[in-house]
Amino acid sequence: MDIREAYESAVDMDYSYRFAKRMEEYKTNPVLGYRTAGSQAEFLTGEMIFKEMQQIGLEDVHKDRITLDSWEFEKAVMRVVSPEGGEFTFQLGAYQTEFCTDGFCSYKVVSLGKGTFADYENIDVKGKLVLVDINQRDEWWINFPVYQAHLKGAAALIAVQEGGYGEIHDTALNAQDIAGPKDAPAFSMSRADADVLKRIMGEKGEADVLFDAKSHVRENRVSYNICGSIPGRDREHGILLTAHYDSYFSGFQDDNAAVAMMLGIAKAILISGYRPETTLIFCAMAAEEWGIVNSKYDWSTGAYQQVFHARPEWRGTIKANLNFELPAHAHDKKDAVRCIYEYRTFMEEFLKTVKTDVQAYPEGIEVVSPIQTWSDDFSMAIAGIPSVVNDFSSGSFMETHYHSQFDNENFYQENVYRFHHYLYGMMALCLDRTALPPLDFSCLLKAVRQSVDLEWCRKTGAFEERLFELLDCAEQAAEELYRKIETINGIYARAVQAGESGKAEEIRRDNAGLYDWLMRIFKKEQDSFVRLNWHDEVLFPHEAVQNNLTYVALALECLEKRDVRGALEAIYGIDNNRYAFLFEEKVYRYFTEYVLEQPPERLQWGAGRIVHHENMFQLVQGLKRRLNVKDADLSREYDYLKQVEANQKACYQDDIRYLIHEIENLIQMIEKAKDM
């Protein structure tokens, strides 16, 4: 029996399913669940995982201490009496904010539409609960209407998801990270309960309720990431498998099934008798859903703390992080492995050796890049650990079940779960038989090339000829380097396959310097080329400005035609200026400045990755006032936009010069690697 057969026969689906269900035992809210950052429920679940790692036979099982902000959500219950005399009790969800009533207290609740600035006109909400409808996926994030309510003196905001998330059923509650301050309280209500409450409010849009809530946020607390390992012959390097053990509601898919799959893979490898060449590390991480107060980047805290503070030595030594999210449900007809650009070539070759379960995925499997900010693999990648995750963001599950009480075992798909056990277990063993991290830097360079808009290069006077000349040189050098890596890894894999441990160790030793240098190149690429936009999408340094220039040009064209509405629609797409349309300036500035001016440790993995911001709040307000004014004078707005265009053109030139400089450095590093 070869290793594939031995591993596959050792996979125990019942074990993984049972452990995923066991993780529901501890909860902060006895009715709704929740296992939140730094909570007692999270701690007790971590203890359970610790004991399980020991029981299945992992070695060096330990807890890595991390610092985070904690959240305990115990309850949020509303009672209201209808005019007809009927009493209703609603269970509410919550966001990571501070609000405690010490029992039922009387409040007035007022319905305020979308909760934008205009919705508050002539309405006093001081000390009241504000009920609003929200679509976080398609419109705006929860922090904006929450902070707007806070500035207006509301006791708390209650959000009702009208779309985007929690669409599976009218009784669905939804939870997300708050991305705001803890003293602006927020809760969530289902559409079904909100409909009842609104009927009771009637035309006046207000009602008296009793509200009992207990939601506590505490800063600078301690939690733990739980680690165990299967030691390899090479103790200096590792392959890391991760999943997070905090959750909203019961969290069956997100992320109980992922933690259980990680342990299931470990258990199957141990039972199969496989002895790894490289140490395999299994880490259950805390605080993925949320873990730091008042930050746009308040999720993936456990992973960020782990790799930047608890275990900084992992950077440069771990050749791959296989991260798991929502792995027991098919999110599309085609499965996808999402990875860093630099692992695309390796993954595409690896998938040729894998037989896809066509019942689970009738359209097969593909590789997609880049990784996203949605999960812990992004924190790992920017730290310098090449990362991979089972793609989970493309299907309808994210809009229907995700982060709701409908994320439960009723939507468990065993064939999908089994395939992922097999796929990622085999992936770990395949990576284990590489002496060098299989990094193909040409994939990132090709993506940079495709992302550059030649028209904007010419319009701005950017040096695109030099840039593309360097990209040609860099791609060729990177392809030559990857052929060298493939050759060394091929010789190494054959030595391992033949049981020639002495030869394998010699290959590792002879190439230790190259290993270290390849990891330095990868970290350099993360620092140099990975940026974010205001929607947390991963892009290259010039792309945000390139996007801005496109929309600025469109807005100018509209103003020349006196099309104010068209100009506003174009401005909506520039940076975060969509929020300038619907919230007051204090709100807009707060959530702009806390990204641009907060200390890096408050921004975690997002620090310094948004650049060249254009604040167009006043322009938006001016154009809104002119929307219905016949023959309005638009010269001031036009001149302002021309200045914005000039600023962004200068930024684009700077970005292209920056790319040229960084690619020059990259070429030098790649050439050095070729000679090692």
Q: What is the pLDDT of residues 506-522, one digit of tens each?
A: 999 999 999 999 999 99
Mean per-residue pLDDT for 290-304?
97
Backbone dihedral region for residue 190 (phi beyond 0: left; psi -120 to 50: alpha; all else: beta): beta
402, 432, 462 - which closes a domain: 432
Which string of DSSP letters, residue by residue, matches 253-308? IIIIIHHHHHHHHHHHHHHHT---SEEEEEEEES-SS--STT-TT-SSHHHHHIII
pLDDT per residue over 104-134, tens digit each?
999 999 999 999 999 999 999 999 999 999 9
pLDDT per residue over 69-105, tens digit each?
999 999 999 999 988 878 999 999 999 999 999 999 9
The Cβ-side half-sphere exposure at 610, using a 13 Å CA radius, reads: 25
432, 465, 499 - which closes a domain: 432
How far apart are the C-alpha atoms of 640 and 171, rounded to whole Å?
Answer: 48
| HEC letters along 573-619 | CCCCHHHHCCCCHHHHHHHHHHHHCCCHHHHHHHCCCCCCCCCCHHH
Closest CA to 536 of 602, 591, 606: 606
What is the Cα 76 distance to its own chain's centre?
27
What pLDDT was estimated at residue 631?
Answer: 82
What pLDDT was estimated at residue 95?
Answer: 97
Mean per-residue pLDDT for 528-532?
97
Q: Answer yes or no: do 382 and 493 share one domain.
A: no
Q: Are strands 99-100 and 87-91 parallel, antiparallel or unpaired?
A: unpaired
Mean per-residue pLDDT for 16-44?
97
**How many Cβ atoms sit within 10 Å of the Cβ of residue 450?**
8
- CATH code for the domain in which residue 270 is found: 3.40.630.10
What pLDDT was estimated at residue 1?
Answer: 63
Is the per-residue pLDDT at 549 higher than 90?
Answer: yes
Distance set, CA 319 to CA 280, 451, 580 (Å): 11, 27, 43
Q: Are strands 93-94 and 87-91 parallel, antiparallel or unpaired?
A: unpaired
Whose tokens are 């200045």? That residue is 643
Q: What tokens does 282 get?
A: 């299994």
Sorting pLDDT into bands at 50, 70 and 90, what band is 578?
Answer: very high
Closest CA to 246 of 287, 305, 298, 290: 287
Distance set, CA 650 to CA 533, 577, 657 (Å): 18, 20, 11
Q: Answer yes or no: do 107 and 254 share one domain.
A: no
**How many Cβ atoms sit within 10 Å of the Cβ of residue 538?**
19
Q: Answer yes or no: do 596 and 475 share one domain.
A: yes
Q: Helix 464-497 and helix 441-451: axis angle, to 10°?
A: 150
Sorting pLDDT into bands at 50, 70 and 90, what band is 2?
Answer: confident
pLDDT per residue over 360-389, tens digit each?
999 999 999 999 999 999 999 999 999 999
CB distance 378 to 319 below 8 Å: no
Range of the domain at 296: 3-70+219-432
Is the per-residue pLDDT at 290 higher than 90?
Answer: yes
409, 432, 455 - which closes a domain: 432
The Cβ-side half-sphere exposure at 116, using a 13 Å CA radius, reads: 12
Q: Answer yes or no: do 144 and 193 share one domain.
A: yes
**How many Cβ atoms sit within 10 Å of the Cβ of residue 626?**
17
What pLDDT was estimated at residue 629?
Answer: 84
Is the per-residue pLDDT at 448 higher than 80?
Answer: yes
Q: Answer yes or no: do 113 and 197 share one domain.
A: yes
Sorting pLDDT into bands at 50, 70 and 90, what band is 567?
Answer: very high
What pLDDT was estimated at residue 560?
Answer: 94
Q: What tokens does 340 get?
A: 């860093």
Q: Answer yes or no: do 19 and 163 share one domain.
A: no
Is the per-residue pLDDT at 204 higher than 90?
Answer: no
Q: What is the value of pTM for the model shown?
A: 0.95
Sorting pLDDT into bands at 50, 70 and 90, what band is 205?
Answer: confident
What pLDDT was estimated at residue 101?
Answer: 97
Mean per-residue pLDDT for 528-546?
96
What pLDDT was estimated at residue 393?
Answer: 85
Q: How many structural domains is the chain composed of?
A: 3
What pLDDT was estimated at residue 83?
Answer: 82
Closest CA to 534 of 141, 73, 149: 141
Mean per-residue pLDDT for 442-451?
98
CB distance 650 to 611 below 8 Å: no
Q: What tokens does 156 get?
A: 């708390």
Q: Which helix (H) or strand (E) holds 156?
A: strand 156-161
Q: Answer yes or no: do 259 and 144 share one domain.
A: no
Burial class (CB in 10 A: 0-12, 13-18, 19+), 410: exposed
Q: What tokens does 561 get?
A: 């035609």
What does the mean pLDDT of the chain come to? 95
CA angle 235-1-59, nearest 5°? 25
Q: Helix 635-674 and helix 441-451: axis angle, to 10°?
A: 160
Strands in 327-399 per DSSP E? 335-339, 365-368, 387-390
Q: Answer yes or no: do 92 and 64 share one domain.
A: no
Give percent above pLDDT 70 in the chain. Answer: 100
Q: Answer yes or no: do 660 and 515 share one domain.
A: yes
Q: Answer yes or no: do 247 and 335 share one domain.
A: yes
| Phi/psi at 537 (5° precision) | -85, 145
pLDDT per residue over 602-642, tens digit each?
999 999 999 899 999 999 999 999 888 888 888 999 999 99
- For residue 203, what are the contacts with CB-CB under 8 A and spacing of at least 6? none
Is the per-residue pLDDT at 279 higher than 90?
Answer: yes
How far apart are the C-alpha atoms of 515 and 496, rounded to whole Å?
Answer: 18
Which range is least confidently modeled, 77-86, 165-174, 229-238, 366-375? 77-86
Q: Which helix (H) or strand (E) holds 9?
A: helix 3-10
Q: Answer yes or no: do 627 and 645 share one domain.
A: yes
What pLDDT was estimated at residue 203?
Answer: 84
- CATH code for the domain in which residue 128 is found: 3.50.30.30
Q: Answer yes or no: do 122 and 257 share one domain.
A: no
